[in-house]
Amino acid sequence: MFVVDCGWPADDDADDMHPDMGKQQPRTNYKLAQNPRDVLGTINWARVDFILISNYEQMRLLPYITEYTEFSGPVYTTEPTKVYGKCVLEESIQVAQGALYEDAAGSSSKMSSQRGLLYSPRDIVAAMEKITDVRHNEMISPVPFVQVYTRSSGYCIGAGNWTVEYKGHRTAFISTSTFVSCLHPQEWDSTVLREAQALVFCDAVDPAPSSTGSGEMGDEGSWQSAHVSQLLNQLCSTAISTLKQRGRVLLVGEPYGVTQDIVQLVSENIVALNLPQPQFVFVSPIAEHTLQYGNIMGEWLCESKHALLYLPEYPFSDKELRKKGHLHFVSSLADLATKSIPQGNWFVVVPPSDTETLNHFVRQWRQDAQRCSSADMASGAGLAKFSILIHDDDTARAQRLVNRLSVGTELTYVPVARRFTFHSIEQCLAAAERAHHVLVPSHVYARLEAKAGRYEFRMFEFSHLQATTVDLDTDRHLPLDIQSEMTRRVCEGGKQHALVEGKLSLSAGRIRLECRDEDAAPSEPTAETAKPKTEVGSQHKLGSADSANAPALTQRDLARWTPEKLADELNGVGLNASVIPASPGSRAVQVLVPGGSATIHLDNEWLVDCSSSNVNWTVLTSLRKVLKAA
């Protein structure tokens, strides 16, 4: 058992769930109203063998998992993901602490602060120490008989898609990915699609076409059909046009990822047009570190920037800007007041979660524009012009930013489509040569459902935080005991193949073959054959009399149990069990576990009815332990 990615919606995503925002329903694919502690409590972390992290956006819950749950296995990710992930976690702590300060002053951002303070800075350091660095295409074995490796996803520096291989069967987990080849991260590796028998698409953007009036959000098709390089050039042109008029630009984005490409494009075009270089100001406590990491991790960059490693120059322009005094870093809005930054053309980068800083610049620049006289505008000495640029490809999240800033025609929204959409997933499915099963988010499945019949594989849908069961009816790999039985039959018959007859059963998550061998002499029941038998399905019968391998001893043992005794024994092994009030001719025990419940009917044949596969695993394992000890 393993976990892929430990992400959670960012703090700015909590605004839709705030009681002051009314009953607006989020449109993106996984806006969650649950508390992360409650969600994590539904998992038996003691049974999780290892964790795989795809990119630095998928680490928000990792410190809580490693420090406050029973998880004790290894965590695997690439070196850039670990480095950038630590920066993101540290920033979330500072944002949450700021939210707590606002709460004390009478503001209401409890949801954000509650999420951010799941752990402390010391927990972040401890979690980072438990991470094992891996490289793309490096084969690792977290547990016996399991091999794991990652391929580049193209999304950000160090991002990858994990493939888990067990006995030759490969399952690929396609996390946040992109086909774009004009950005600075290492390009998408399509090998992940051609190798796997099962594909799980963990993340895809859910476009929510809408209009903001003067903001011009545009519809889904207009920006999906355009190449990302065209969208970046459009953002760059808007910024340069504003800077030409002695204006100022506010870029809403994190100080890493595609923001680095936009800043470099603006800087290079300013030099090419022989215009005065603006002052680039990053308002973030982690911006200085993240820009430096991009320069020193050249081997994780795209081919064009990777080639610069062999030349005496850096892949990005921030070193040159710093040398000329045009690059400034401030940790917060309060820190900005203590910095001496030349006036004039400013290009400011602010994370979308820092609403206080965003509101400050919009309010201040609007006042400057209103105070600017016509004479100042004619002479070019005024500061009347300013632009706000948003590049988030999650249109619902960008819509909230537009509504929050409310700047009318001064805002330019150009979604840089970096994450997979259902169009991208459709291209992936065409290249899935060996796939037998595909799992996609529900909003993607709704758009592909009509075309699912033309594929050779079976397609399933899932929703976040909802248990999904996939019936792997093809390419089933037999356990070792079944393979041993087949080998024995082959050797006895002196043939290259043999027909094995029997019944497949599922017991506590293990598949077992129960054969009926009439020629074999009856033997005494062993510890293995005396185990309770279960049939495949949501209802499990223990001690069935029609099984050749169910000895009379098991039936007598089951008949001696009472509901009260069974409930006491189950409580003794850590379950919450209680006796259901008896009905005529029926005896039953109810078991409550995180994530569901189960009912055990103590009739002639015990019947275990579980609400989910996770509950099935937990209850049957504990029940087996109780029966063994009896």
CA distance 32 to 8: 9
Q: 165-174, 339-348, 399-408: lowest mean pLDDT where?
A: 399-408
Are 229 and 286 in the same domain? yes
Mean local confidence (pLDDT), 205-231: 56
| Burial class, 236, CB count within 10 angstroms (exposed 0-12 / middle 13-18 / buried 19+) | buried
Rounded CA Rg of the chain: 30
The reply to whether the predicted model has a pTM over 0.75 is no
Per-residue pLDDT at 556: 45
* Domain assignment present for 480: no
Mean local confidence (pLDDT), 270-286: 91
Residues 6+ apart with CB under 8 A from 215: 402, 408, 411, 413
Are 464 and 508 in the same domain? no
CA distance 578 to 370: 71
CA distance 18 to 255: 26
Q: Is the dihedral of CA 183, 432, 172, 60 positive or negative?
A: positive
CATH number of the domain enclosing 461: 3.60.15.10
Per-residue pLDDT at 519: 46
Beta bridge partners of 50: 2
CATH number of the domain enclosing 307: 3.40.50.10890
pLDDT band for position 81 (cuts 50, 70, 90): very high
Per-residue pLDDT at 306: 79
| Contact between residue 8 and residue 89 where contact means Cβ atoms under 8 Å apart | no
Q: Give the structural domain span for 76.
A: 1-133
Burial track 530-541 (b if 16+ CB lie within 10 A, e otherwise): bbbbbeeeeebb
SS3 category, 609 = strand
Per-residue pLDDT at 499: 72
* Domain assignment present for 476: no
Which one has a higher pLDDT value, 452 or 101? 452
Are 382 and 443 in the same domain? no
Are 590 and 502 in the same domain? yes
| Burial class, 529, CB count within 10 angstroms (exposed 0-12 / middle 13-18 / buried 19+) | middle
Q: Is the dihedral of CA 140, 145, 151, 153 positive or negative?
A: negative
Distances (CA, A) of 520 to 516, 517, 524, 526, 552: 9, 6, 12, 15, 18
Structure tokens at 406: 């409310």
* Domain assignment present for 72: yes
Are 624 and 505 in the same domain? yes
CATH number of the domain enclosing 611: 3.30.310
Are 119 and 184 in the same domain? no
User: What phi and psi values does residue 615 have, to the nearest 5 degrees?
Assistant: -65, -40
Residues 6+ apart with CB under 8 A from 266: 236, 239, 240, 243, 249, 347
Per-residue pLDDT at 246: 83
Per-residue pLDDT at 123: 93
User: What phi and psi values does residue 567 have, to the nearest 5 degrees?
Assistant: -65, -40
Residue 400 has pLDDT above 70, yes or no: yes
Are 430 and 557 in the same domain? no
Are 407 and 446 in the same domain? no
Are 542 and 405 in the same domain? no
Are 452 and 499 in the same domain? no
Element at 347 (helix H, strand E): strand 346-350
Q: Residue 6 corresponds to which amino acid?
A: C
Are 101 and 182 in the same domain? no
* Domain assignment present for 377: yes
CA distance 299 to 306: 6
CA distance 544 to 532: 9
Distances (CA, A) of 411 to 51, 251, 377, 399: 41, 10, 20, 12
Residues 6+ apart with CB under 8 A from 484: none
pLDDT band for position 483 (cuts 50, 70, 90): low
pLDDT band for position 98 (cuts 50, 70, 90): low
Tens digits of per-residue pLDDT, 281-321? 999 989 888 888 887 788 888 888 877 777 766 778 887 88
Among 133, 167, 195, give the residue marking a domain's end.
133
CA distance 581 to 412: 65
The alpha-helical segments, DSSP class H, found in 9-78 are 36-40, 62-68
Residue 475 has pLDDT above 70, yes or no: no
Number of domains in the chain: 4
Residue 105 has pLDDT above 70, yes or no: no
Distances (CA, A) of 549 to 82, 506, 512: 51, 14, 11
Per-residue pLDDT at 247: 86
Are 265 and 169 in the same domain? no
Chain centre distance of CA 291 = 24
Average pLDDT, rounded, for the chain: 76
Query: Which stretch, 136-145, 220-229, 330-339, 524-533, has highest mean pLDDT?
Result: 136-145
Among 133, 152, 184, give the residue marking a domain's end.
133
